Amino acid sequence: MSHLPIIARFAPPVTETQVAQVEALAVELSQTQELDLDETLRPLAGTEWPDAPELHIDDQSDISSLALPYDTSYIQDRARIRASTGDVVACNRAPTPGYEDYCRDHLKLGSVEWLSPEAQGHPRNLASHTWTSRSVRRELIHAARAKGLRTIHPLMGSQQTWLLALLLHRASRRPIQVLAPPPRLARWVNDKTEFAKTVTALFGAASLPLFADGTSLALISRHVKDIAAAYAHVGLKLPDSAGGAGILVVSSRRFRSKSLDAVADDMKKLVRAIGWRSGERLLVSGWESAVLASPSVQVWIPPGRDLPPPVVEGIFEQTIEGTRYEFVGTRPASFAPAVTALIVTRCWLMAFLYQLLGYVGRCSFDLVLTGNSREDCRPVLIECNGRWGGTSLPMTLMHRLFRGDPPAYIVRTITVRGLARIGFNTLLEHLGDDLLDLRTGLGRLVIFNPARIATRSGLSYIALGESDDQSRRWAEEEVPRRLRELTCGDARAPKLGLR
């Protein structure tokens, strides 16, 4: 129930002119877009962050099933990273045996209560299941009435999460607030097409790749042919895609010599592969080829009527692998001062815009750096992730474990053939003294998201070191070797999954 450590590591060198431009755009968007809360939900908007018990619930119901068609409920237990003594964590799956003891004893994250509603329908609809389960509903009402539960702190501002807050408020007759953006604003922030339009409005067309969108195959094919003339690769993206799903990158050579009709015939097959249907929007963009790095900027937008400024907490370098550009890990990044200043300034201005529109909580911005060198490069904003994710959660965990001053570390997710048949406690025994234990101060590995072990035969972990090279060696060599010893299997980067 204590606040998460929110640490401002980067001060944006913004100007009064830039701030005024953002304020003007916020007024325009407020008049042209429906982004605010419905009247019935407005009393639930977080205006402070009280030191009181919270419900941590990673409901994914607003992530399109077309963009992410498979079950991703195995990441719900990552909400434990945010929870402290007195808090409640809700997951469709029962907590992995041994994980709560590990978090409480090894990592000293306090003792929390777990609620496990049965999935009635798609497991992604966790907030709905939490209320329709009678026993869980009773526990929540009791927590609000007798234990001081006042805040729902979700993965993202989904409609079902806000509805859960409203129902809990009415049933308990206690004040409940949501530490997340309004649902319509959350969807708009996560929409890749709207993001591209907003970036263009603030920073100009040169700040991101050429893009266009359409809802018909004929218009999309025209955009593909035009963009293929200017880029070596064309990106096709469902606007609400997540975790690398719903994205396809195609060589421009495939389209350049074809007629528009032939491109349309080809596109029929391609768009089927990412689940696009006629009448829905599809974003077509140039795909940057000469990529030097893929930064991710982690931002916290605090609640408050006086609008305390957004906090830029970290800049990370993402590890992206495979032809479908899967996210498999991340580590704190260091770039040239001028590059860092430009990245921080633009991401802060975007976050400030979102704040003026009513956004609260965690968000991150993904970029690519293009050019000849990391010292002389062009930052290109790609998308916003208006939610907690695979970079912000481990970052926050490291801030909690090391009081805001962590050692060098790398976050990594791998799959290991045979790991699914190994229990979590057996894994802990095998890794032994290599696991970080705050009771002794020893160890160099932290495990999180244990449900991935049983469901995906995968492991998410943080490798610590006295240097970047040492943490990289442990993350990429020692841990896979130790897991192969345990399973007699092979270790590799995971297939596509939600960050």
Q: What is the CATH number of the domain that holds 392?
A: 3.30.470.20
Identify the pLDDT of residue 72: 83
Cα atoms in the 13 Å half-sphere on the side-chain side of 120? 9
Provide the whole-model pTM: 0.94
How far is C-alpha 162 from the geometric centre of its chain's CA atoms? 19
How far is C-alpha 89 from the geometric centre of its chain's CA atoms? 18
Q: Name the domain boundary from 267, 286, 305.
A: 286
492's tokens: 């590799």
Q: List, in sequence order, every residue forming a beta bridge with 379; answer none if it has no partner.
A: 369
Residues 162 and 231 in one domain: no
Query: In Å, how far are 263, 416, 440, 457, 490 from 453, measured between CA atoms?
Result: 42, 9, 26, 5, 14
283's tokens: 């974003």
Q: What is the rounded CA–CA span in Å between residue 127 and residue 151?
A: 14
Show the domain range for 176: 42-181
Three-class HEC string of 474-497:
HHHHHHHHHHHHHHCCCEECCCCC
Q: What is the rounded CA–CA span in Å between residue 468 and residue 483?
A: 22
Q: What is the rounded CA–CA span in Å between residue 168 and residue 464?
A: 41
User: Residues 293, 413, 441, 3: what is their CA dihedral angle, to the nearest 10 degrees?
Assistant: 80
Residues 256 and 351 in one domain: no
* 251: CATH: 3.30.1490.20
Q: Which parts of 38-138 are beta strand (E)?
A: 54-57, 88-90, 113-115
The DSSP element (H or E) to which 452 belongs, if any, is helix 451-456
Residues 269 and 311 in one domain: no
289's tokens: 């080829």
Q: What is the rounded CA–CA span in Å between residue 216 and residue 271?
A: 11
**204 in a structural domain:** no
Residues 225 and 163 in one domain: no
Identify the pLDDT of residue 488: 86
Q: Name the domain boundary from 181, 201, 236.
A: 181
- Nearest residue to 456 via CA among 410, 411, 421: 421
* 61: CATH: 3.40.50
Three-class HEC string of 316-330:
EEEEEECCCCEEEEE
- Nearest residue to 207 via CA among 219, 218, 197: 197
Per-residue confidence of the chain (499 residues) as pLDDT tens digits?
678 999 999 999 999 999 999 999 999 999 999 999 999 999 999 889 999 999 999 999 988 665 555 678 899 999 999 999 999 999 999 999 999 999 999 999 999 999 999 877 777 899 999 999 999 999 999 999 999 999 999 999 999 999 999 999 999 999 999 999 999 999 999 999 999 999 999 999 989 999 999 999 999 999 999 999 999 999 999 998 776 678 899 999 999 999 999 999 999 999 988 889 899 999 999 998 888 999 999 999 999 878 899 999 999 999 876 555 566 789 999 999 999 999 999 999 999 999 999 999 999 999 999 988 998 899 999 999 999 999 999 999 999 999 989 999 999 999 999 999 998 999 999 999 999 999 999 999 999 999 999 999 999 999 999 999 999 999 999 999 999 999 987 777 765 455 6
Q: Name the domain boundary from 140, 163, 181.
A: 181
**3 in a structural domain:** no
Q: Which residue intervals of 229-359 are DSSP H helices?
A: 253-256, 260-273, 337-356
Can you list the pairs that 254-259 forms with residues at least 24 positions away whose Cβ atoms lie under 8 Å? 254/228, 255/224, 255/225, 255/228, 256/225, 256/228, 256/229, 258/225
210's tokens: 């050429």
Residues 6+ positions from 199 with CB-CB distance below 8 Å: 207, 208, 350, 381
**8 in a structural domain:** no
- How many CB atoms neighbour CB 386 within 10 A? 26
Identify the pLDDT of residue 290: 84
**402 in a structural domain:** yes
Question: Number of structural domains, the chain?
Answer: 3
Residues 333 and 434 in one domain: yes
**46 in a structural domain:** yes
Question: Distance from first CA to last CA of the chain, Å, rounded?
Answer: 25
